[in-house]
Amino acid sequence: MLKRTGHNQSNSEYDDFRGYLERHCGIVLGDNKQYLVSSRLGGLMREHDMASLGELVERLNQGGRALRQAVIDAMTTNETLWFRDQYPFNILTAKILPEFASSSTLSIWSAACSTGQEPYSIAMTLEEAKRVSGKNTDYRITGTDINASVLAKAGEGIYDSLALARGLSIERKERYFQPLEEGRWQIKSAMRQKVSFRALNLLDSYGALGKFDIIFCRNVLIYFSQERKADILNRMASALRPNGYLFLGASESVTSLTSAFEMIHCRPGIVYRKKA
Ligand SMILES: C[S@@+](CC[C@H](N)C(=O)[O-])C[C@H]1O[C@@H](n2cnc3c(N)ncnc32)[C@H](O)[C@@H]1O
């Protein structure tokens, strides 16, 4: 007899579901994350009148794209904030941008950008470096994510006071945002034009994105298996121009996954440079 785990999940249904999730977005769920699945998918399952996780997997396997997107949106963790960890933005200003001083345009990819705080923090860093150096280096930032709802939010660039309070100084808020009603603020359109957003699953090809000088891929590899991490890192190396740079999250590393990068210690913080 199947062991019931509550919320109408049997162990085999849970295994089928996590297999589906891993195949479609790389996220590996641990053995004991049934509660997480129940809490994230409860509303969606009620909305679609599904009594069990098995029924959900069956419907997903029939190929409904809208349902798959809704499940992915519910299961991804989109935690983010402005200038997260601070050191990547300091390294960008102090080390990387001077190296690219002779480039006319910089191309930057914020992979797994969630609601946009990361790519807009990069844009603010570049604007500030331009003001200090007096150089008018142009830049384009591409933000991608698998989650359609966070991407829509990122494109609008509208944030409430709670989101704004996480890592953004008052000076930056006043410089780069315009106030809307009810305590919300929107990124000014000149900056929004520098950042474009598109849906991209990191398991899919990066070919259509073009080549980049710098990639931020932060706080997403932690969810993937070692094989997926290695594959993504090798493909990111191919998407970088020679001597391009890669930032990972503070708890992430390329060690024992790929030899495509050299590790550069910046104290504080690490950045990876694509090997020639
Ligand atoms: C924790 S957030 C990190 C956001 C930002 N990079 C940061 O460090 O603050 C992780 C993001 O990865 C996205 N994600 C998860 N799996 C993905 C996949 N297979 N392809 C693209 N994005 C994915 C999630 O939707 C989520 O927005």
**In CATH, what number is assigned to the domain containing residue 47?**
1.10.155.10
Give the position, in ligand 1's atom list, of the atom nearest the Cα of 25: 19
Looking at residues 49-65, what average pLDDT do you find?
A: 94
With a 6 A CB cut-off, is 201 part of the ligand 1 pocket?
Answer: yes
Q: What is the CA radius of gyration of the chain?
A: 20
With a 6 A CB cut-off, is 34 part of the ligand 1 pocket?
Answer: no
- Among residues 15, 40, 241, 273, the one annotated as catalytic is 40
Q: Do 132 and 210 reside in the same domain of the chain?
A: yes
pLDDT at 3 over 70: no
Q: Do 139 and 263 reside in the same domain of the chain?
A: yes
pLDDT at 190 over 60: yes
Q: Do 16 and 136 reside in the same domain of the chain?
A: no
The CATH number of whichever domain residue 210 belongs to comes to 3.40.50.150
Q: What integer pLDDT is reported at residue 111 of this predicted model?
A: 98
Ligand 1 centroid to Cα of residue 64, in Å, is 22
Strands ordered across the beta sheet of 105-111: 195-199, 138-145, 105-111, 212-217, 240-248, 270-274, 261-265
pLDDT for 215-232, tens place per residue? 999 999 999 999 999 999
Token code pair at residue 142:
């591409």
Token pair 């997480």 is at which residue? 36
Nearest to 243 by CA among 123, 102, 75: 102
Ligand 1 centroid to Cα of residue 167, in Å, is 19
Q: Do 126 and 205 reside in the same domain of the chain?
A: yes
With a 6 A CB cut-off, is 258 part of the ligand 1 pocket?
Answer: no
pLDDT for 148-180, tens place per residue? 999 999 999 999 999 999 999 999 999 999 999
Nearest to 129 by CA among 96, 158, 154, 107: 96
* 160 among known catalytic residues: no
Q: What integer pLDDT is reported at residue 198 of this predicted model?
A: 98
DSSP class of 187: E
- Among residues 16, 84, 145, 213, the one annotated as catalytic is 145
Tell me the C-alpha distance between 25 and 29, whole Å. 11
* 145 among known catalytic residues: yes
Ligand 1 centroid to Cα of residue 221, in Å, is 8
pLDDT at 8 over 90: no
Q: Do 152 and 231 reside in the same domain of the chain?
A: yes
Q: What integer pLDDT is reported at residue 95 of this predicted model?
A: 96
With contact defined as beta carbons under 8 Å apart, do 112 and 229 qualify?
Answer: no
- How far is the first Cα of the chain from the last one, in angstroms, to the nearest whole number? 58
Q: In percent, how much of the chain has pLDDT > 90?
A: 92
Query: Is residue 128 situated within a structural domain?
Result: yes
pTM score of the predicted model: 0.96
Token code pair at residue 13:
């249904």
Of 54, 75, 96, the last residue of a domain is: 75
Of 75, 97, 127, the last residue of a domain is: 75
Tell me the C-alpha distance between 219 and 79, whole Å. 9
Q: Do 28 and 154 reside in the same domain of the chain?
A: no
Q: How many C-beta atoms lie closer than 10 Å to residue 194's C-beta?
A: 18
Of 43, 75, 107, the last residue of a domain is: 75
What is the tally of structural domains in the chain?
A: 2
Query: Is residue 119 situated within a structural domain?
Result: yes
pLDDT at 187 over 90: yes
Nearest to 60 by CA among 22, 5, 114: 22
pLDDT at 134 over 90: no
Q: Do 109 and 238 reside in the same domain of the chain?
A: yes
Q: Do 135 and 229 reside in the same domain of the chain?
A: yes
Q: How many C-beta atoms lie closer than 10 Å to residue 126's C-beta?
A: 22
Query: Is residue 230 situated within a structural domain?
Result: yes
With contact defined as beta carbons under 8 Å apart, do 131 and 92 qualify?
Answer: no
Looking at residues 189-194, what average pLDDT do you find?
A: 97
Q: Do 29 and 112 reside in the same domain of the chain?
A: no
Query: Is residue 265 situated within a structural domain?
Result: yes
Q: Do 130 and 210 reside in the same domain of the chain?
A: yes
Q: Do 195 and 237 reside in the same domain of the chain?
A: yes
Q: Do 70 and 106 reside in the same domain of the chain?
A: no
Nearest to 245 by CA among 235, 237, 254, 253: 237
What average pLDDT is seen over the chain? 95
Strand partners, 216: 110, 247
pLDDT for 230-262, tens place per residue? 999 999 999 999 999 999 999 999 999 999 999
Query: Is residue 34 situated within a structural domain?
Result: yes
Ligand 1 centroid to Cα of residue 145, in Å, is 6
State how far the alpha carbon of 120 is from the alpha carbons of 15, 76, 123, 240, in Å. Answer: 38, 21, 5, 20
With a 6 A CB cut-off, is 146 part of the ligand 1 pocket?
Answer: yes
With a 6 A CB cut-off, is 78 part of the ligand 1 pocket?
Answer: yes
Q: What integer pLDDT is reported at residue 9 of this predicted model?
A: 64
Q: In percent, how much of the chain has pLDDT > 70?
A: 97
Query: Is residue 81 situated within a structural domain?
Result: no
pLDDT at 6 over 70: no
Domain membership of residue 141 as a residue range: 87-158+191-274
Query: Is residue 130 situated within a structural domain?
Result: yes
Q: What integer pLDDT is reported at residue 10 of this predicted model?
A: 86
